[in-house]
Amino acid sequence: LDAADAPCAGKSEIHITGSLYRKEDMLKLANLSDILTFEIEHISMEGLKAVESSGKRVVPSSKTLEIIQDKGTQKQFYQSHQIPTTDFRLAADTSNWATLLDELEIEQQFVIKTRTGGYDGKGVEIAHRANLPLLLEKYINTPVVLEKPVDFTTELSVIVARDLEGNMQVYEPCEMVFDPVLNLVDTLVTPARISPKLSQLSKDLAVKTVSALEDAGIYAVEQFLTADGQLLVNETAPRPHNSGHHTIESCYSSQYDQLNRILFGWPLGNPSQKMPAAMINIIGPEGCHGTYRLSEASALLAIPGVYVHLYGKAETRPGRKLGHITILSEDMSKLEQLIQQVKSLVKII
């Protein structure tokens, strides 16, 4: 941990270097704070509870993070609240995988998610039953969620803001396009190119999910739209999310503005979208390590409606999120052209 290198180091009046896995460091931050939030789920639960016991409010609370941090508990939460989700079984170890896969009627492909520690596509594997012997070895003592894959046409994400009093505001559904190689979100288009009816159902499902959590915060409720028109919740992130980055430029009130409002106890902002937006992640390419630059930055900055965000991370690594680009256009077909133009210019060297 190098404080001088941290992108946030120069942006705040007080900067603490510490680990989100060390209770002592978390308490040190809490002592300086009136209210706290987090932007990553993988933090020490013991530390978070110690912060709350010290009398400081954390938004969202440890209760919510406990549900979300463990993908098995999260699945059970959806089930117990009648929130549609993909069929699944929990396995503490691999001893009964065969039975569980049978129960899920899986003959070929299935999804394995480690219950804890996954992030940005890590900890998620699309597996094939034919490879079962190897998989049983790999996951021998790892608690996992086994999921039946769904035939989905679109992956959606809906940002919901919930304030300390329980008021909610919901954003337009975002359509997430994954890069199958990196297993990372590649391009996002908001509003999603789905019918108004489905859009409303997707927003309703997101609100239902956040209502069930009964906690303040910014949430991204990721959903599958299946080939037969069903919406299933995949997972929920209890923090500002990649699928909400476009809100900085495209909405009256961004996901970050909403989070500020929530923490300060101010009224929620207006989530309406001013115009359609696309977002492209800037990701560290394969085989590229160390210092880097965005080689076509100048050409990108010259395109009207294009916003380049670089996070100021000191070094690139393959698959690392280095920044993102937001594109605005009043016209959806023009937006699609701009996406292609921008994608051809995003090069990290």
> Which residues contact its own copies (rule: CB under 8 A)?
9-13, 252, 261, 266-267, 269-270, 272, 274-275, 297-298, 301-302, 304-305, 328
**DSSP state letter for 143:** -
- Rounded to a whole number of angstroms, the minimum distance from the CB of residue 298 to its own copies is 6
Q: How far is the CB of 114 from its own copies (least distance, A)?
A: 39
Nearest distance from C-beta of residue 14 to its own copies, angstroms: 9
The Cα-based distances of 297 to 136, 280, 289 in angstroms read 46, 14, 19
Minimum gap (Å) between residue 293 Cβ and its own copies? 13
Is the Cβ of residue 11 or residue 197 nearer to its own copies in the bound state? Answer: 11
Nearer to its own copies, 146 or 159 (CB): 159
Q: At closest approach, how far in Å is the CB of 205 from its own copies?
A: 24
Nearer to its own copies, 233 or 328 (CB): 328
Structure tokens at 128: 């094939």
DSSP secondary structure string, 231-266? Answer: EEEEEEESS--GGGTTHHHHBSS-HHHHHHHHHHTP
Q: Which tokens is 278 given?
A: 């696309």
**Based on CB atoms, which residue is closest to its own copies, 229 or 265?**
265
CB of 328 to its own copies, least distance (A): 7
Q: Is 18 exposed, middle or buried (0-12, 13-18, 19+ CB in 10 A)?
A: middle
Minimum CB–partner distance for residue 32 and its own copies (Å): 14
Question: What residues are paired with 147 via a beta bridge?
Answer: 88, 111
Instruction: State which residue, 133 or 304, has the beta carbon closest to its own copies.
Output: 304
Q: Which is nearer to its own copies, 138 or 293 (CB)?
A: 293
Provide the token pair at 154: 């679109």
What's the order of all strands across the beta sheet hosting 124-128? 88-91, 144-147, 109-114, 124-128
Q: Report residue 89: phi and psi, to 5°.
A: -135, 150
Nearest to 220 by CA among 205, 233, 202, 239: 239
Nearer to its own copies, 261 or 321 (CB): 261
- Separation CA 239–CA 219 (nearest Å): 5
Among 266, 209, 217, residue whose Cα is nearest residue 36: 217
Cβ-based neighbour number of residue 157 at 10 Å: 28
